[in-house]
Chains A and B, each alone.
Chain A
Amino acid sequence: MLSAVSLFREALYGTLVIALACSVLGVYVVLRRIVFVGAALAELSSAGIALALWLSGQGLVMGLTTHPIALALLLTIAGVLFFGSGSGRARIPPDATIGVTYAVAGAVGILLISKAAVGEAHDIFLQGNILGITRIDTMILLAVAIPVLIAHTVFYKEFLFVSFDRETARTLGFRVGFWNLFLYLTLGLVIAFAMQFAGVMLVFNFLVLPAVTGLLLSRNMAGTFAWSIISALVAAIVGFSLSVPFDLPSGPAIVAVSGVIAAIAFLVRLSQRR
């Protein structure tokens, strides 16, 4: 089993980087109840990938075929600005706006990919293909993840305060709009880059399940982050290691392991209450 895994070790390293970055941001995603913002941003990112492939199929922008991240990033940042600003949609409930974005972006991605000349071969971009991650891909992921994680370490206090109690933060002079947008921007960056390799399902998994596990196992923020990271890395390693020798799709295998870990955490929490 180990030899099979070592064959794909570069892919595993890339998956671990995605797991690490998403599991840290996921704590805010879950606590701020913006889980479906994460899903909508992931769909926007995948729509951007599909748009790049469709354009290249039309012979319009050839360069984007090999680097679909450009359009994925563009659409994701547009989504970040839309959700992060939180203005101008007072008559529509926020969750409805998120739902509309999720549905439309998902449908547009599928429609574009179905009409892209190279679509059939490339819908792997929408599903994700972590086994295809190369060393260069891992370096690119690290180049995004490291600055994001440093920003979250340095500005932990600011992100926490505006997430926990924005009104009081505002009265103490914190620029709540700026910090919210900054938080969303880091989320958008990680999602846009992770989406290329991991696909919607796995990115969404890493944004939600590890954070839920962390919240079940810890009663303080440091512990929640720690358990979130540990559970994401363990799920990535175990899921990946099981998928290769048993010829299972890696993404769903990792999600399944994440689910088992979250279920164990739930049982642990239950036992502590009794």
Chain B
Amino acid sequence: MKPLVTFDHATLGYGRRVVLRDLDFTIPEGDFLGIVGPNGAGKTTILRAILKTLEPLEGGVSHAPNLRYGYVPQRDQVDYNFPLKVIDVVMMGRYDRIGLGRRPKPTDRDRACAALEHVGILDLADQSLNSLSGGQRQRTLIARALVGEPNVLILDEPTSGMDLVATTQILGLVRALHDRDALTVLMVSHALNEVANYVERIALVMNGGFRIGPVDEIMSPAVLSDMYGIPVEVDSFNGHRIVVARRNGNELDRPHVEPEPVVVEDTTEPNDA
């Protein structure tokens, strides 16, 4: 598989503040990668380096030529008070192609309608964005990302604040886009249990540490216990993996100790399953 983004011993941060050190991994074409970790761990920092909005402090991050990203931001980054129709929001995904100071053409609208149909909400095209449910809003933002005809679809916390049904539907849609369109997908989330059952590889970002590999490798009690710094078990139910922290009964007596940062080079190929 052709590499799309390569981190070459990259150190990421802001000014003099280092967030993650010595990242060394590749995102190949066709990958379905979940970048997982708690808030503030550095997931968004990695995302910014991938999106070229953050330069590494050391090392390098290289991108394949003519790479186009379809970005689905966190839902709270979008202001739903704007009086915009769904179709208007989706057409924003083509604004960079339309050109400076020019207006969308009928062909742009046609493509926006096709993207809405692709995510199953064409009937909502003329609805106000702020009248939609959380799941419908997320589909709108995914359609906007797709209408730019990207090589890579990037979703930042796509299920944050959603209920079980909407979460399942959105993750199912993303999985279908990967399978059906052979789209490279990167999904950032803090919810390991949700992501692990949909993606093919996981990048765990935690406590300054970083580890990436196929789901089977990362979802092992040894790796997760090492990364989380507490005993962790991985159970399976109807083919779904569930991560649970093992109870030891004396949590009140033992303060949580931050583990040493763990940095492991990526030596694995993506899982094509």
Contact = CB atoms under 8 A, between A and B. Distances in A.
Interface of A: 31-32, 154-155, 157-158, 160-161, 163-174, 215, 218-221, 223-224
Contact of A165 (B77, B96, B100, B103): B77
B77 A161 contact: no
Nearest to B148: A172
Interface stretch (B3-11, B58-66, B83-91): B83-91
A170 B53 contact: yes
A220 B85 contact: yes
Interface of B: 51, 53, 69, 71, 73, 77-79, 81-85, 88-89, 92-93, 95-96, 98, 100-104, 128, 144, 148
A165 B101 contact: no
A150 to B, nearest CB: 11
B78 A171 contact: no
Contact of B103 (A157, A173, A215): A157
Nearest to B104: A157
Contacts of A160: 82
A175 to B, nearest CB: 11
Given A157-B98, A173-B96, A219-B128, A168 B79 contact: no
B84 A172 contact: no
A35 to B, nearest CB: 13
B88 A31 contact: no
Contacts of A165: 73, 77-79, 92
A117 B148 CA distance: 62
B79 A171 contact: no
Contact of B84 (A157, A167, A171, A221): A221
A215 B83 contact: yes
B137 to A, nearest CB: 12
Contacts of A174: 95-96
A219 B83 contact: yes
A154 B96 contact: no
Nearest to B100: A158
Nearest to A222: B83
Given A31-B81, A161-B95, A168 B101 contact: no
30 contacts: A31-B82, A155-B101, A157-B101, A157-B102, A157-B103, A157-B104, A158-B95, A161-B95, A163-B79, A164-B78, A164-B82, A164-B92, A165-B77, A165-B78, A165-B79, A165-B92, A168-B77, A169-B95, A171-B53, A171-B69, A171-B71, A172-B71, A172-B93, A215-B83, A218-B83, A219-B83, A220-B83, A220-B88, A220-B128, A224-B83
